[in-house]
Amino acid sequence: MPICIPDSLPAVDVLRNENVFIMTSSRAKTQEIRPLKLLFLNLMPKKIETENQFFRLLSNSPLQVNVQLLRIDQRESKNTPMEHLNSFYCDFDDIRHQNFDGLIITGAPLGKVPFSDVVYWPKLAEIITWAKEHVTSTMFVCWAVQAALNVLYDLPKFTRSQKLSGVYQHHIIQPNAILSRGFDDTFLAPHSRNADFPKDKIINYTDLTILAESDITGPYLMTTADKRMAFVTGHPEYDSFTLANEYFRDIKAGIEPNIPENYFPDNNPNLSPKATWRSHAYLLFSNWLNYYVYQLTPFDLTTRNMTVDD
């Protein structure tokens, strides 16, 4: 089954050309099923690019998913046309009284910015808290993990002395966990962040279970016992060239970044990189939709029954 997105969203043509299974809103109205309601809070600067990346992964499921795009505020974007935001995104006040099966909160390029200096921090904290009562399962990605750890567990911001950028090998440490079901014992995933997630802080100050980690990047995949929240510290949604685009952007800006690790062939930025994490990424999102969202959520979203057998 496909994901369901607005008929005129740019992702429709992009994903169809890639033979990705999607369904437009007009067609979905003829389906006599109860699709999953997914809220997508997009904090990344290039909204359209991020939509395409996440929607690819969400499409690889037997479940029909209706996606509602959410913006954090109405400030003008430097990288996304205002017409696009006004046409396809809603504001939090529009949906705060609704319930959703799932919520994804993306990363944001704010790894070095104190939470108190993030202009939309109060609104984001409100949404994270709101999700505990109104969303069956929430997935936090990269910087959103750091934000959620602060809001939910009062953990301070941990910032790396040097940006983490590259593709790293991870290993499973909870082999029977359903969120990582089907993963290889070791798998690759990209990271691009200044945020740090010290393992000892996660263990000592939260109730999270670490499902997968890397000797270099630290915890990668974490979850609450009730499956209401999943935390992904990397960027499994990234395209083949996303890290390259970030690297060349930083060079142009005079930042002098390090070459992303384990990414360019022969560590040569003149050679085209290949995605080596795609199968794991598809499986991660498929598992989340099935085991953390579909299997937990009530048919009637006005009721909240959040227990599930592992």
Task: Establish whether 249 is an annotated binding residue.
Answer: yes
| Mean pLDDT across 217-229 | 97
Nearest-CA neighbor of 65 among 37, 25, 93?
A: 37
Examine the residue annotation and report whether 142 is marked as an active-site residue of this protein.
yes
Band the pLDDT of 31: cuts 50, 70, 90: very low
Give the span between the Cα atoms of 307 and 289, in whole angstroms: 16
pLDDT at 304: 57
Q: Choose, from 4, 134, 142, 170, the residue flagged as catalytic.
A: 142
Examine the residue annotation and report whether 126 is marked as an active-site residue of this protein.
no
Band the pLDDT of 214: cuts 50, 70, 90: very high
The DSSP code for 82 is H
The DSSP code for 240 is T
Task: Establish whether 274 is an annotated binding residue.
Answer: no
The DSSP code for 156 is P
The partner residues of 10 in beta bridges, in order of sequence, read: none
User: For residue 128, is pLDDT > 90?
Assistant: yes
Place of tokens 């301070």: 156
The string of DSSP letters for 37-78 reads EEEEE--SSSHHHHHHHHHHHHTSSSS-EEEEEE-S--PPPS
User: For residue 99, is pLDDT > 60?
Assistant: yes
- Rounding to the nearest 10 degrees, give the CA dihedral for residues 294, 186, 19, 144: 60
pTM here is: 0.87
Establish how many alpha carbons lie within 13 A of residue 106's alpha carbon, considering only the half-sphere containing its beta carbon: 26
pLDDT at 143: 97
Q: Choose, from 51, 191, 237, 280, the residue flagged as catalytic.
A: 237
* Per-residue model confidence as pLDDT tens digits over 164-191: 999 999 999 999 999 999 999 999 999 9
Q: Choose, from 134, 191, 235, 280, the residue flagged as catalytic.
A: 235
Task: Establish whether 192 is an annotated binding residue.
Answer: yes
Contact 239, 272 (CB under 8 A): no
Q: Which CATH architecture describes the domain 3-156+195-237+278-294? A: 3-Layer(aba) Sandwich (3.40)
Q: What is the mean pLDDT of the chain?
A: 90
Give the span between the Cα atoms of 178 and 287, in whole angstroms: 7
Nearest-CA neighbor of 73 among 88, 55, 93?
A: 93
Examine the residue annotation and report whether 246 is marked as an active-site residue of this protein.
no
Band the pLDDT of 5: cuts 50, 70, 90: low
